[in-house]
Amino acid sequence: MGHLCEFIEDCEFTLLSTQILYLLGLEGPGTQDPSKYIRFIYNRVVLENATVRASAVSALAKFGLQLDYLRESIIVLLQRCLHDNDDEVRDRATFFVAMLLAPDAATGKAFGGLDATALLLQPLSVPLGAIEDSARAYMEAPSETPFSLSSVTVDPEFLKKERKAAAAAASSGVGGLSGMSGAAETIRASPAKPAARQQESEADLLSKLPQFVHVGARFASSKQAALSETGTEYEVQCIKHVYASHILLQFSLNNTLEDQLLEEVTVCLDISGINGIELDSELKCASLPFGSPGDCFVCLRRVEGVPVGSLPCSLKFLVKDVDPSSGEPAGDEPGYDDEYKLEELEIAAADFVKKVAVVDFKEAWNTVGADCEVIETFSLSYTSLKLALDAVVDYLGLTPCDNSNNIAEGARTHTLYLSGLFLGGVQVFAIVNLRVDSAKAVGMRLMVRSTDKAVSNFVASSVA
């Protein structure tokens, strides 16, 4: 951070300066001595061009919003920008001064209850391109309902373009500093996000697809599971996205055959073997040419309980033979229907748990108490503590706490602390005692606590 501050003291590149200022505003308030960065940021307001000055104003505001003892000083600095000769700088300064002077600014609220922290520090819930498309459509066909972000939907093709753009940016080495911060950061500088953050952002956008706007906010997403082997004719992987009353299955598809074009591609599921779910809706992949991955979606609705089990599934599509050199179908060939058998899709208890760590596990464990505690013992088919530990974490879907996922070399016993959030907002904690006996078999004692006995029982039974 110090090196970056020194760098922008004599930087002739506007793009780099705005990226560094964004990073200073994002990370600076959380450092041990945040005030030392204020001078470097304010220097940019005095010495730089309008674009950099606007970015510096936003960075200063983030310090004032998050740090009470610096708020008054930040307001003074921002007030000096109210008469800047650039309208963007003036508008930002006016906006942030009003935000910081609001009576409830100290609680992160301003302007009649608006969450200022979310507005300033969190990205937009939908991409700017999708907002632009929806705003244009609204202007062409106005309605009595005011335009808002909650009404913005995302075209599936837009998601595909975003993913390709992110992959291209990552492969070209763009990234490292940061992207934009939604409404507060409108400088046109948007490097690629880290892969994990990009996947999370994309998952949150799924509920903005017109077919799935009814599912609400996403609770959790699973790891990607392969439903076919790599290198086969059709490669299929699945991510399970869990919502309050729905499970949205995202199938990533890849056609490896050069002489085939697949159309109207979907994954058919046999849900008769699992109680408590029914088919809600689906979104087919309209076209899947060779070498151009696509997605299709199946939305399931939970009608009762928490459904777990295996779902037989198959890939169904219309096949058209194509000329490998051009990738175009031969003549007016109508094509023919075909089906490809896939591996069964497993819906497990871990899919309904979100990984949420706690700062002090033992205190949280004691606070919950033993009223809803469940204790189980198991004999596991693993020959080492490490293999058993990794498997238990996957089965339960909880996250390790207090660095308890590190096993001492040569240890024959180990205690693992886990925590998370069950669907519906129920906190869940687990203590796992592992031991290796003389036959190199691993035994386990599992203790689960939550505020709901049914949840404790459900989580404990997921290892069986």
Q: Where are the domains of the chain?
A: 2-121, 128-208, 219-346, 351-461
3-class SS of residue 205: helix
Torsion sign over Cα 106, 110, 114, 116 = negative
Mean pLDDT of 295-321: 93
d(CA 207, CA 324): 36
219-346: CATH architecture: Sandwich (2.60)
Query: Counting Cβ atoms within 10 Å, is residue 437 exposed (0-12), middle (13-18) or buried (19+)?
Result: exposed
Q: What is the pLDDT of residue 201?
A: 73
d(CA 398, CA 348): 13
DSSP bridge partners of 367: none
Among 58-67, 139-148, 229-238, 293-302, the minimum mean pLDDT is found in: 139-148
Among 105-109, 186-190, 259-263, 416-420, the minimum mean pLDDT is found in: 186-190
pLDDT band (50, 70, 90) for residue 179:
very low
Determine contact, residues 345/268, Cβ cutoff 8 Å: no
d(CA 103, CA 112): 10
d(CA 338, CA 255): 14
What lies within 8 Å, CB to CB, of 21 at 6+ separation is 8, 41, 44, 52, 55, 56, 58, 59
pLDDT band (50, 70, 90) for residue 178:
very low
pLDDT at residue 187 above 50? no
Task: Choose among 463, 460, 459, 453: nearest CA to 369.
Answer: 453
Token code pair at residue 175: 């990234």
Amino acid occupying residue 149: L
Q: What is the pLDDT of residue 271?
A: 92
Q: What is the pLDDT of residue 182?
A: 37
pLDDT at residue 335 above 70? yes
Percentages (nearest 5) of helix, strand, coil residues in the chain = 40, 25, 35
Reported as a single tens digit per residue, the pLDDT across 112-121 is 445 566 666 6
Token code pair at residue 328: 């175009």
Token code pair at residue 29: 């308030």
Tell me if the domain spanning 351-461 has CATH number 3.30.310.10: yes
What lies within 8 Å, CB to CB, of 375 at 6+ separation is 445, 446, 447, 448, 460
Please provide the CATH number assigned to the domain covering 2-121: 1.25.10.10
Residue 450 gets which letter from DSSP?
Answer: E
Token code pair at residue 332: 């007016």
pTM of model > 0.75: no
pLDDT at residue 165 above 70? no
